[in-house]
Structure 1
């Protein structure tokens, strides 16, 4: 009986230690809000076609390599966006990286066919990677 109790205590201790090491690491409510705010601000700049301002949300390492003018050329003026939602779907604390799904309505700026007029705005989900460095969340641009 004493042996079974000891084995039970050891097993419980191992489970607690393993759970602590491999448990899901989450953002605090304050961290999540700060990230969601940054994502929203960047997309508001994109909606307003202020691409230079959107560049300011890219990581310092990205900005050190890609100037604003090059970043601006990445975007098309043929589509408009309207932000409809932001959701943090994953966070890796050891890498300080968060995956975010941004929901937008996209619509062509010029109706070039009857089909484009009938389709109108379409919902789109964009998966983004954001990194936390130097006390701030930064968009990790894929180039």
Structure 2
């Protein structure tokens, strides 16, 4: 019985150490920004403009309200699909390229375009840069 408790304790300790190690695994800026950019793209595809707005920088949100932001991304309503094509980073800036498939009211066929965005690192957090 005591032998089983020791095995269970060792297994439990191993799981805890493995879990903690996963928490401290560092990711590259490209991986982090790629994940954030995909989350934002997914929000736009789901027409969740409030969630997409949360990815903009604090400075942008302090000067542009959600109501004023929505018309800037209204074109995303016609987006059918999208994916991250590339993420390229230098120091505190990352450039993200998306490939988006969309349809307009006037053209009844799917079209594909490339969209480029810039992300900036502010105090260790990555944000979508908007003018």
Q: How many residues align?
A: 105
Cα separation, partners in 2 of 1:81 and 1:133, compared to 1, 3 Å? farther
Higher helix share: 2
Q: Please report the TM-score for the alignment, with normalisation by the length of structure 1.
A: 0.66
Describe the SS at the equivalent of 1:75. Answer: helix
Among 32, 35, 38, the alignment partner of 1:37 is 35
Q: Is the 1:84–1:105 contact (alpha carbons within 8 Å) kept by the matching residues of 2?
A: no
Supply the distance in 1 between the matched residues of 2:64 and 2:85 (Cα, whole angstroms): 26
The separation in 1 between residues aligned to 2:27 and 2:73, in whole angstroms, is 32
Larger radius of gyration: 1
State the distance in 2 between where 1:80 and 1:106 align: 4
Shift of 1:107: 1.4
Partner of 1:66: 64
Shift of 1:74: 1.9
Cα distance in 2, alignment partners of residues 82 and 99 from structure 1: 20
TM-score, scaled to structure 2: 0.71
CA-based RMSD: 1.9
Q: Does 1:104 align with 2:100?
A: yes
Q: Is the 8 A contact 1:87 1:100 kept in 2?
A: yes
Structure 1: unaligned runs, 5 residues or longer: 1-27
Unpaired runs of 5+ in structure 2?
1-25
Q: Alpha carbons of 1:81 and 1:30: their partners in 2 closer, same or farther (altered >3 Å)?
A: same
- Structure 1 ranges of 4+ moved more than 6 A: none
SS at match of 1:76: helix
Q: Secondary structure at the match of 2:74?
A: coil
Partner of 2:74: 76
Rounded to whole Å, the distance in 2 between the matches of 1:54 and 1:82 is 15
Distance 2:29 2:90 in 1: 13
Contact residue 30 and residue 94 of structure 2 kept, 8 A: no
Q: Cα–Cα, structure 1 residues 86 and 76, in superposed 2: closer, same or farther, change >3 Å?
A: same
